[in-house]
Structure 1
Amino acid sequence: MKKGLSVIALVFSLFLGNTSSFAQAGLNTAEKRYDRWAYMDAIKMYEKVFNRGFSNQQLVEKLGNAYYFNARYSEAQKYYQKLFSEYNSSDVSTEYLYRYAHTLQNVGDEKEAKKYYDAFVKKAGSEAQISKIRKNEESLQKQIKENSGRISNIANLAINTPYADYGSFVNNETFYYTSARDTGNFAKKRHTWTGDAFTNLYEANVNEVGEQDNVNLIKSVKTRLNESSAIITKDRQTMYFTRNNIVKGKRRYDANKNTKLKIFRAELIDGKWANITELPFNSDQFNTTHPTLSADERTLYFSSDRPNGFGEADLWKVTVNGDQYGTPENLGEGINTEGRETFPFVVNNELYFSSNGRVGLGGLDVFAANIKDNETFGEVQNIGTPINSEFDDFAYYIDGNTKNGFFSSNRDGGKGNDDIYSFTELRPLVLDCNQQLHVKVRDAKTGELISDAKVTLADGFYNVNGTSYIYVAPTYNFNHGYECGDIYHIKAEKEGYVTQEIKVTLPNESGITEAEIILEPAKIPLKPGDDLFKALNLNPIYFDLDKYYIRPDAALELAKVYAVLEEYPTMKIDIRSHTDSRQTHKYNETLSSNRAKSTAEWLISNGINRNRLTWKGYGETQLVNGCADGVDCSEAEHQMNRRSEFIIVEM
């Protein structure tokens, strides 16, 4: 950006004939026929205002940005330092933490730069997380409604008893589940799967469980305490299941003398489950429960209250390579909450689980999320009614081909405690959230599209995802895949304009997000007849009710008018004050006249020659809309009429 204020006068002349006198006459005619133009450097005008002691947060941000985007970091530091020292940091947008940190780094203050980088990462990370998982309740309820009604043929299974019956897994038409049926130990607590009731593993023909109670106890894995949540590998040679901490017949305890739950592995030998061993990532000090396998059986998911989680129990995963296991990894905040996440199940790269830490219908609800190619997760969705209810609904299982499945619930109408229900899915759950981002750049004065700006797309942490130099309808194209809920920073640059950057947060639902960047011309064209209020994009000149003295916020706007008058010493303006139609004509005429005079006197008191100003109050005689006496209008419509104008009379 060039230093100093520039004035460009464009004088148009027509020449006819060969004599100097005729040429002079032509020039005079041209001066009368054409307006003379001048251009005000917007940023230098703001700087003049600042140097006269008038500023607010918006002005300081604009000045800092003007130098920052032109890599003039020492000048940018002056304004960003003021921004963070004199204004409430909670009111300053997150991107200014990044810009100030980057500025400090470029001027060599590494220690202070790190402080602001750390603050940016902390705040930006929080915003990114909130944008993804903390959708407002109204949006979540809408999602639940959209996901409901997809299920039919819900039926209580014949194998249920008055005791705890829950959990479902099907392999080769064999139905595996958990029950307290043969213990006689009625589970008085609601969540029997926590280990408070003695349960065992059973199997039955999947085609019979809805019609007859013909089940078999899996005796080879039974102990005197609990077994539950069995899954079988595709080759039917390995079983993973949950069991109380009993190893080689001996019961083990944690530091508080409680027996925790662990995941065990069994091998099928001669038709019986044998070689039962606990998995190496178990511990005597916390619970590790409810295993399930990925489609390729190379990842085992489970629930655990082990340390470094987010809530009461989290979902974790561990790699599987034969009988070797990796280090458990938490599935992260996108999945886990401060509550309990449990009973994971994976089918067709979709993760289903139950949680009481999210907005739902009550108790445990079943939720689902896509497992992406990079092993991250898509948006978590409540799968809706009738699977979910005001009671605990958990242990969801569905066959990816037949769309028949099972879930467990302690809802009313069952046989008692937890029961297993069968169902059929009529239409699939739409878990893919597809977003498109369409970017346009417009001229702030004309509103016209700018098709040749340099537009840069960066993520929420300012990692650049792409740059585009041309607009091809409907967008500047970055060849970038957008993620629902993600935050992006979009910067537009073009010679002759002030660089602008906006932040866009994509919604957590499929659709097209349209973003517009409005570029202000770096130099503002001025000519007789122009209204400085509009040309300078001033904020409204507000007065207190029934008053006409200049308030501090109005003084800041008038300081911008003053800067123009100072730059152009021959400029004359006419100050016009208008009111809305409320109150009487006479009252409004007097009030507007006093306000116009007050405005002029402020400029005069700050050094503008009185002869350069005229002023008049027009009351309600020049309304810009139909809000006349007796017409019902909104406050916003009335505000359009309560305006000030600064009309250039001469240049």
Structure 2
Amino acid sequence: MDKNFFYIIILVIFANLTAFSQERQLEKAQEAYDNFGYLNARNIYLKVAERGYQSQELFTKIANSYYFNAKYDEALFWYDKVLKLDDYELNSQFLLYYAQSLKATGNIEKAEKYYDKFVDVSGKSLKNIKLTSERYLELIENNSGRYDIKSIEGVNTENIEYGKTYSGGKLFFTSNRSNGLFDIRKNTWDGMPFLDIYQVELNDDKEATSKPKKLPGDVNGKYHASSPIITKDGKTMYFTKSNFNPVKKERDENLKIYRANLIEGKWTDVEDLTINDDSYSTAHPALNSHEDILYFSSNMPGGYGQSDIYKVSIDENGVLGEPENLGPKVNTLGKETFPFISDSNELYFSSDGHFGLGGMDIFYINITENGLENLLNVGKPINSYADDFAFGIQDSSKNGFFSSNRKLTLYNNQSETQLNQTNEFVNDNIYSIKEIDPIKDVYNAIIEGHVTDAETEKPISNALIQLYEANNSLYDTIYTDKEGYYKVEINYFKAYRLRASKEDYDSEEDVSDAEKEKQKIDFELHKNRLKLSPGVDIAHSLNIQNILFDFDKYKIKDSEKLKLEKLLVVLEEYPEMKIKIHSHTDSRGSHAYNQKLSLKRAQSTKEYLIGKGVNPSRLSVKGYGENQLVNKCSDNVICSEEEHKQNRRSEFIIAK
């Protein structure tokens, strides 16, 4: 390539880059010249108030700005100024913010007084619904009728049978049935035979196809053995067994969880686990789907009641960690026992401490990454007047088992869902189950809505929605999507205080209703920080667009001078700023008349500002008559006075 040609190309590129750079510098200079900065609505309102002007709108705007920044003392100062006005009107929004500010500053008695006024005006309340026994029964009924149940013939006897572990086509269960003439092991406490673990083959209809047999190996022993759970590979078993006290050389009342391995068809290598202790019981093990967490029941010290549900980690070498109590959402002062964890991490367990239908009911709670969800009673016919326990189900087939000591009478070979329950008790029996419908979270409800710009009606994306409970604790935080839409799950029986906020906008709050499955709460936010550049109309942000004139008049009323005082503060803050005053009328009257009237009103506004010291060269006027209506209210269209009022407006547009 010719060197001179190469240098020419470089010079051309350099010249273009230089020109582009100079052009951008000029653009930035023009932007800096055109941009007066940002209008901060609170600062404007404060300066107007300092001049001695008073109004509910003025004081409330200032108070709200402090309220939403958690400066409750300052907020109360301005809210109290509203209450000293002669013509104030207490809307629900004012009452809510005022009551919350009083509460936050420790004035509880007065806060309750104004909160009660808020309830009267709005019809809403942040007080939660109290759940009575009747309401609990209604909730249980909502989840009833979801299962078919059937007694397992060939397994149940007049003795005790219970269990839910299904592995390799076999049901592993617990029974105290007699094992022959020479089986003389008796429980000295009640004279009943000790419990052993059995297995029986079942077909697809969950009917026994073989005789139950005791588990081979070392699992069963001299005393109780029960509630086995087997790993997916069929090689490891966790089970419950009586504790043998080596000092007394006899068993004591406590139970322990053991682990055994299947070797050459026999369960052997029985191992005492580290979670056990001679001073308390551990029992009824359950494994999660990854088999790295063991759930169990225990009365170890530090629990909530007679027995609690715990979990403990299992590492790849089978070593157990420290037990962790599942907390008060699961555990009560009563007895929680027989946990089962599904493949989708749903916990089922039995309890006599939560409200139910009988002695022990089976309950459900979903475990998520965020913790425990709502506790639910699985309903009838699984739960009854009797003790119902040892529940287990497969996610894929929705087949499973549970046990109960209810007495059932079958009529005309009807399905077990239609059995007559006599409120009599028998020894425990095992039932196969089929889930027909999924459980319904009866505590779940939905709030949804949109957040929009009050002036443009356009959606506000990424607006922050915060939900507060009755005690002012933060319940949840979400953001609107690009359409300004949000959706959040709540408790059906609770009301919440919702706050919508976005940078450069005034925040807003509202209160939801309790006992609504789905409700819609929308927010319209007003800008409080506006970029002051040519073409921007500052009327909306300062609430001065509706300068009202008497019908067929154009003189500025005394009641409207406060609005123009806001504009005066802006003009004083930015002495180089020029404003175009545009006035509009509604459609009533002739076009020609409305054109003249709007011009007179714009001119009257200009003269008022000049009289306040504004240089006339900074102001220009234009009347548009009825040519730029903001709604449907044109000639011969019937509209309300409020709709016509929307068209009688003024605009204050920053000029170049």
Query: Does the pair score TM above 0.5?
Result: yes
The Cα shift of 1:386 comes to 1.2
Q: Is the 8 A contact 2:258 2:273 kept in 1?
A: yes
Question: Is 1:296 aligned to 2:306, yes or no?
Answer: no
Residue among 32, 42, 60 paired with 2:56? 42
Contact 1:483 1:506 in 2 (8 A): no
Contact 1:408 1:421 in 2 (8 A): yes
2:262 corresponds to which letter in structure 1? L
Aligned twin of 1:177? 173
Say if 1:44 and 1:250 are closer, same or farther in 2 by CA, change over 3 A. same
Instruction: Give the direction of change, closer, same or farther, for the CA distance of 1:375–1:152 in structure 2 (3 Å limit).
Output: same
Maintained 8 Å contact 2:467/2:474: yes
Residue number in structure 2 paired with 1:343:
338
**2:503 and 2:231 mapped to 1: Cα distance?**
63
Aligned position for 2:373: 378
Report deviation, 1:390: 1.1
Q: C-alpha displacement at 1:230, in angstroms?
A: 0.7
The whole-number CA distance in structure 1 between the counterparts of 2:562 and 2:351 is 66
Deviation at 1:395, TM superposition (A): 0.5
The separation in 2 between residues aligned to 1:149 and 1:221, in whole angstroms, is: 38
User: Matched residues in 1 for 2:63 and 2:166: separation?
Assistant: 63
* Residues 1:453 and 1:89: Cα distance change in structure 2 (over 3 Å): farther
TM-superposed CA distance for 1:93, in Å, is 11
Q: Which amino acid aligns with 1:75?
A: E
**Number of residue equivalences:** 438
Deviations 1:233-252 (A, max 9, x none): 11221110111222679757
- Counterpart contact for 2:46–2:62, Cα < 8 Å: no
**1:13-412 alignment to 2 at 5 Å?**
41-42=55-56, 44-45=58-59, 65-69=64-68, 75-76=74-75, 80=101, 84-88=105-109, 91=112, 137=133, 140-182=136-178, 198-207=194-203, 210=207, 214-218=211-215, 220-246=218-244, 259-321=253-315, 322-349=317-344, 350-372=346-368, 374=369, 376-412=371-407
Structure 1, residues 124-177: CA drift from partner, whole Å, max 9, x if none?
xxx99x89xx86655543443332222225225332233322122111012211
Q: What is the identity percentage for the equivalent residue pairs of Structure 1 and Structure 2?
A: 32
Q: Decide whether aligned partners of structure 1 residues 169 and 452 sit closer, same or farther in structure 2, where only a CA change above 3 A counts.
A: closer
Contact 1:178–1:228 under 8 Å retained in 2: yes
Tell me, which stretches of 5 or more residues in structure 2 are unaligned? 1-41, 80-100, 116-125, 410-424, 527-540, 552-558, 564-656
Whether the aligned pair in 1 keeps the contact of 2:202 and 2:208 (CA below 8 Å) is no
In 2: Cα distance, 1:516 partner to 1:395 partner:
47
Question: How is 1:404-443 mapped onto 2 (pairs within 5 angstroms)?
Answer: 404-413=399-408, 416-430=426-440, 436-440=446-450
Question: Aligned to 1:292, what secondary structure does the other structure show?
Answer: strand
Q: Distance in 1 between matches of 2:154 and 2:65?
A: 73
- Report the CA distance shift for 1:527/1:315 in structure 2 as closer, same or farther (over 3 A): same
The alpha-carbon distance between structure 1 residues 424 and 184, as it changes in their structure 2 partners (threshold 3 A), is farther
1:490/1:81 Cα in 2 relative to 1: closer, same or farther (>3 Å)?
closer
Q: Name the CA shift for 1:72/1:341 in 2 (closer, same or farther; >3 Å).
A: closer
Aligned residue type for 2:222: R
Which of the pair has more CA radius of gyration?
2
Q: Deviations over 1:383-424 (max 9, x none)?
A: 221111111111112233433322111112389321112233
Task: Describe the superposition over 1:339-379 as per-residue Cα deviations: whole angstroms up to 9, x where unpaired.
Answer: 3221111223222211222232222111223332x173332
Gaps of 5+ in 1: 9-38, 47-61, 95-126, 531-563, 569-651
1:454–1:522 CA distance, 2 compared to 1 (3 A)? farther
The answer to whether the Cα contact below 8 Å between 1:40 and 1:523 also exists between their aligned partners in 2 is no
**Cα distance change, pair 347–185 in 1 and its aligned pair in 2 (3 A):** same
1:534 aligns to what? none
Q: TM-score, normalised by structure 2?
A: 0.55
Partner Cα distance (2:194, 2:250) in 1:
16
Question: What displacement does 1:297 show?
Answer: 1.0
Q: Please, what is the CA RMSD of the aligned residues?
A: 4.9
Tell whether the 8 Å contact from 1:319 to 1:327 is kept in structure 2 after alignment.
yes
Distance in 2 (CA, whole Å) between partners of 1:382 and 1:515 is 31
1:287–1:91 CA distance, 2 compared to 1 (3 A)? farther
**Shift in alpha-carbon separation, 1:529–1:366, aligned structure 2, 3 A:** farther
SS for the counterpart of 2:141 is helix
Instruction: Name the SS of the counterpart of 1:344 in structure 2.
Output: strand
Partners of 1:529 and 1:469 lie apart in 2 by: 44
Task: Report the CA distance shift for 1:188/1:416 in structure 2 as closer, same or farther (over 3 A).
Answer: farther
